[in-house]
Amino acid sequence: DWNAGNVIAEQVERIRAQVGDARVISALSGGVDSAVSTALVHKAIGDQLTAVFVDHGLLRKGEREQVERDYVASTGVHLITVHAADTFLGHLEGVTDPEEKRKIIGREFIRSFEQVQRDLVAEAKAEGEQVKFLVQGTLYPDVVESGGGSGTANIKSHHNVGGLPDDLDFELIEPLRALFKDEVRAIGRELGIPEAIVGRQPFPGPGLGIRIVGEVTRERLDVLREADAIAREELTAAGLDQQIWQCPVVLLADVRSVGVQGDGRTYGHPIVLRPVSSEDAMTADWTRVPYEVLARISNRITNQVPEVNRVVLDVTSKPPGTIEWE
């Protein structure tokens, strides 16, 4: 019988045997897989592990605090945060093409991580130690998919943005390689990781950067972050998290429309709600969210986010629409 406690005990043994007294680094994304693989390695080797979290300024509301405060409090992982929002937004200035955005975000992510890695290697060397290992949250479906060499691998290759290049001079620790997502979640719960992280819906590596149709700016990110937080709060309060695979909230930054808000005419931006139901993100259907819930989200967003004067619902399945707008 499958049992989270047994898997943890087995992996802890394996990781200790693999690592010895070398040092290990790990990149935390805020997602389930990196959170659980990192916590598992930490359970095995404690402070021989350093976790790195890159704040690229494209995170959702509360996400950094969730990692820096709640995740660290529950796991005891030694964490370094790289504050890289200025750098990322600088490179994204004037960029509107989605693939270009992904490339820039992926490249800057690697640069940020490599900087920390160099510092750690130098520090370890000074103490006569070695940094030899890198933690990866690879799951069984990832293993199968990347072995396929089919068209699927191509379509999904851009989804590895936010991952790390293969040519780093590290041995990999991949404690989740034999596991499916629900097993990973069970292990995360057993390790005491907060439900908000373990039960999290998928969120793309490039973050809010690919949910602003148009140029990504600090002001636009603030607008989208507020609208997204309201939508998430209401969907959760309505008990819809199980039914919804994920719900991108998208800012159409280059579209404006006329509205009346407060005591005057406005010329603001639309927000798109894209709730989808899916098994694996390859195909999806739009979720029939109850009208009352949609009404509450719309009212709150237009009342609380002055730049937004219209909320629209995306009723397209995948295919032909993708889940994300970019």
- Contact (CB, 8 A) for 325 and 212: no
Q: How far is the CB of 11 from ligand XMP (least distance, A)?
A: 24
- CA 104/CA 102 separation, integer angstroms: 6
Q: Is 30 annotated among the ligand-binding residues? A: yes
Site residues for ligand XMP per CB under 6 A: 102, 158-159, 161-162, 202, 204-206, 246, 281, 318, 322-324
The smaller minimum CB distance to ligand XMP, of residues 15 and 250, is found at: 250
- Contact (CB, 8 A) for 155 and 38: no
**Nearest-5° angle of CA 287, CA 205, CA 36?**
90
The smaller minimum CB distance to ligand XMP, of residues 169 and 280, is found at: 280
User: Which token pair is 187?
Assistant: 């292990």
Q: How far is the CB of 124 from ligand XMP (least distance, A)?
A: 30
Q: Are strands 264-273 and 257-261 parallel, antiparallel or unpaired?
A: antiparallel
The smaller minimum CB distance to ligand XMP, of residues 105 and 187, is found at: 105
Q: Is 32 annotated among the ligand-binding residues? A: yes
Q: Is 285 annotated among the ligand-binding residues? A: no
Q: How far is the CB of 141 from ligand XMP (least distance, A)?
A: 13
Q: How far is the CB of 21 from ligand XMP (least distance, A)?
A: 34
Q: Is 33 annotated among the ligand-binding residues? A: yes
Q: How far is the CB of 10 from ligand XMP (least distance, A)?
A: 29
- Contact (CB, 8 A) for 21 and 169: no
- Contact (CB, 8 A) for 308 and 271: yes
Beta bridge partners of residue 27, listed in sequence order = 52
Give the three-state DSSP class for 315: coil
Q: Is 29 annotated among the ligand-binding residues? A: yes
User: In 3D, which of 187, 176, 105 has the Cα closest to residue 142?
Assistant: 176
The smaller minimum CB distance to ligand XMP, of residues 131 and 271, is found at: 271
261 CB-near residues (< 8 Å, 6+ apart): 268, 302, 306, 309
The smaller minimum CB distance to ligand XMP, of residues 194 and 206, is found at: 206
Binding residues for ATP: 29-35
Binding residues: 29-35
